[in-house]
């Protein structure tokens, strides 16, 4: 397994029993390291059977309150880097006529969340890309799995300083990291799974939102 992170993977190496190799990369500023990531993966692993696009973060605030760097960084990490990495692995996956590409998205793609407009837009864009790619790859042996979690306890989602302006300590958590990881692994191992709603209500909410629209204020 090859783990890509800006600065967390050394802590994981010290504090977990999982065996992995790490690549340090800041996806918020440039995609030039995406090629380095794929090159390292082939060097260390000999090939890529599964790509999990999980990188993402949010900056809280009304659109006009945030800097362009905040906007650009979220779009790069949440959407563009995943599209770039996917583009790079597809060529080899086509050659071997097999592979699994996982996109970890969010239930927020189905609602307009004030204060998280850029986060929602970037994840919604990636959702559209992933769902379309899923159909484009039919018959090629490459499976796309889209994962839609809700609020996940145990992540750094509210870690950005912008979230300190409001009290998010009473957030109702839908699930935890362990459950999300288990669901993703299960989906990868089962050949017939292409979409995963971590919490049942996300699928229902999505259908309602598509019909009537939904706005959530934070």
Catalytic residue list: 119
Place of tokens 């790079």: 88
Handedness of CA 30, 108, 211, 135 (dihedral sign): positive
The CA-based dihedral angle spanning residues 132, 135, 141, 143, taken in that order and rounded to the nearest 10 degrees? 50
Q: CB neighbours of 5 closer than 8 A, spacing ≥ 6?
A: 12, 22, 24, 25
* Residue 162: count of CB within 10 angstroms of its CB: 16
82-88: list long-range contacts, CB under 8 Å, 24+ apart: 82/53, 82/55, 82/126, 83/126, 83/129, 84/31, 84/34, 85/34, 85/37, 85/38, 85/51, 85/53, 86/51, 86/53, 86/133, 88/34, 88/35, 88/38
């Amino acid at each position: 397994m090859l783990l890509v992170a800006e600065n967390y993977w050394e802590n994981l190496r010290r504090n977990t029993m999982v065996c992995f190799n790490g690549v340090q990369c800041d996806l918020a500023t440039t995609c030039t390291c995406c090629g380095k990531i794929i090159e390292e993966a082939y060097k260390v692993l000999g090939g890529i059977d599964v790509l999990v696009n999980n990188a993402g973060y949010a900056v809280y605030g009304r659109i006009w309150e945030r800097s362009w760097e905040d906007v650009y960084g979220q779009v790069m990490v949440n959407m563009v880097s995943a599209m770039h990495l996917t583009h790079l692995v597809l060529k080899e996956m086509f050659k071997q006529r097999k592979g699994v590409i996982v996109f970890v998205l969010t239930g927020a793609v189905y609602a307009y969340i004030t204060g998280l407009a850029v986060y929602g837009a970037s994840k919604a864009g990636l959702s559209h890309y992933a769902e379309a790619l899923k159909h484009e790859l039919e018959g090629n042996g490459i499976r796309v799995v889209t994962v839609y979690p809700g609020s996940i306890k145990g992540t750094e989602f509210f870690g950005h300083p912008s979230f300190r302006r409001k009290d998010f300590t009473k957030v109702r958590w839908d699930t935890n990291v362990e459950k999300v990881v288990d669901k993703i692994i299960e989906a990868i191992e089962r050949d017939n799974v292409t979409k995963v709603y971590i919490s049942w209500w996300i699928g229902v909410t999505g259908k309602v939102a598509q019909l009537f629209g939904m706005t959530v204020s934070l």
